Amino acid sequence: MHHARNIMILSLSLLAVITADSAKANIRRFTYTYESAVLPPGEFELEPWITWRAGRNGFYSRFDNRLEYEIGVTSRLMTALYLNWKRETIKHPITKQLSSISDFEGFSSEWKYKIFDPAADTFGLAGYGEIGVNTDEAEFELKVIMDKVIGNTVLAYNFILEPELKYGAGGFEFEEFSIDHTAGISYAFSPRCLMGVEIWQHTHTQEGTVLHSTVFAGPVFSYVAGEFWVTLTILGQLPAIKTAQPGADFVLDSHEQFNTRLLMALPF
């Protein structure tokens, strides 16, 4: 499994280096919230993602890693291919022993279509679809992306629907459904340094009932140098809007106290 994954990452990196003369930097000011901008046609960008999630009931630490290869298709349409894997460490509640697993989580295909431009039009608007496939499950993600440029400030908002299908005895079966809102505001203090705030509300539903609804918020920082950029968001969980356990303030059985995400564009 590890060998196959390494070969895939190496192949993708080599492909990027071979076609490096048309690499572009499409700065992302947020890591949980998408913006409506698309890569110019024929351009590409390689973006590694690292998400660190920590602090559930008991010891919990996890890395969600993604390697994204973005391609500009037309002046309004872009696509991207992701390779996904994770490493997770938990403490056994009785033996207190730490155990870790690493897992390849399949690949995803993203498509984004820009309808309005945030600079040329009164606000930016884009539609986004992503399908994630693994050997035993399939995930879909649909987003409406809105953003607005006001001088050195960028506002962005995403409405996200995420149904998940699991492979069972009767084929793929609908398993769960989540509805998310993400929003961010980022201010450019200089062309190189940007800072802001990002908020993420995650609501998990099953058969039309809300199981829990959590809110995360925290600062976001970006640094840009030529075609290189890096963006970091540090989110902390706020008291939940709704929890599955009565009396609990936070959702810590399936979510973490902290979510930190780093995105960067690789210069080559």
Partner 1 sequence: MITRESSVNRTGDVTRLCFRPLLGVIGLLSLAACAAHLPRPTPTQAELAARRWPGTSLETLVQARSLYAAKCSGCHVPYHPRKFNQSRWKGILGKMADRSHLTDNEQEQILQYLVAVSEFPEARPAN
- Give the footprint of partner 1 on this chain (CB under 8 A): 24-27, 37-40, 43, 72, 75, 117-123, 146, 148-151, 154-155, 157, 159, 179, 181, 183, 188, 201, 203, 205, 208-210, 213, 224, 241-242
8 Å CB contact between 174 and 163: yes
Q: How far is the CB of 150 from partner 1 (least distance, A)?
A: 6
Q: How far is the CB of 181 from partner 1 (least distance, A)?
A: 5
Cβ proximity to partner 1, 101 vs 193, nearer residue: 193
CA torsion, ordered 186, 132, 61, 45, to nearest 10 deg: -50
Q: How far is the CB of 36 from partner 1 (least distance, A)?
A: 9
Distance CA 160, CA 140 (A): 10
The values of phi and psi at residue 15, to 5°, are -60, -40
81's tokens:
């291919």
Cβ proximity to partner 1, 62 vs 143, nearer residue: 143
Q: How far is the CB of 15 from partner 1 (least distance, A)?
A: 21
Cβ proximity to partner 1, 83 vs 251, nearer residue: 251
88's tokens:
């997770």
Q: How far is the CB of 94 from partner 1 (least distance, A)?
A: 35
Cβ proximity to partner 1, 131 vs 150, nearer residue: 150
Distance CA 182, CA 33 (A): 6
Distance CA 201, CA 251 (A): 12
Q: Residue 41: CB partners within 8 Å, gap ≥ 6?
A: 72, 73, 74, 75
Distance CA 129, CA 141 (A): 6
Q: How far is the CB of 183 from partner 1 (least distance, A)?
A: 6
Element of type H or E holding 212: strand 209-225
* 217: β partners: 199, 236
Q: How far is the CB of 26 from partner 1 (least distance, A)?
A: 5
Cβ proximity to partner 1, 83 vs 240, nearer residue: 240
* 188: β partners: 194
Amino acid at 103: D
Cβ proximity to partner 1, 72 vs 196, nearer residue: 72
8 Å CB contact between 107 and 100: no
Cβ proximity to partner 1, 103 vs 121, nearer residue: 121
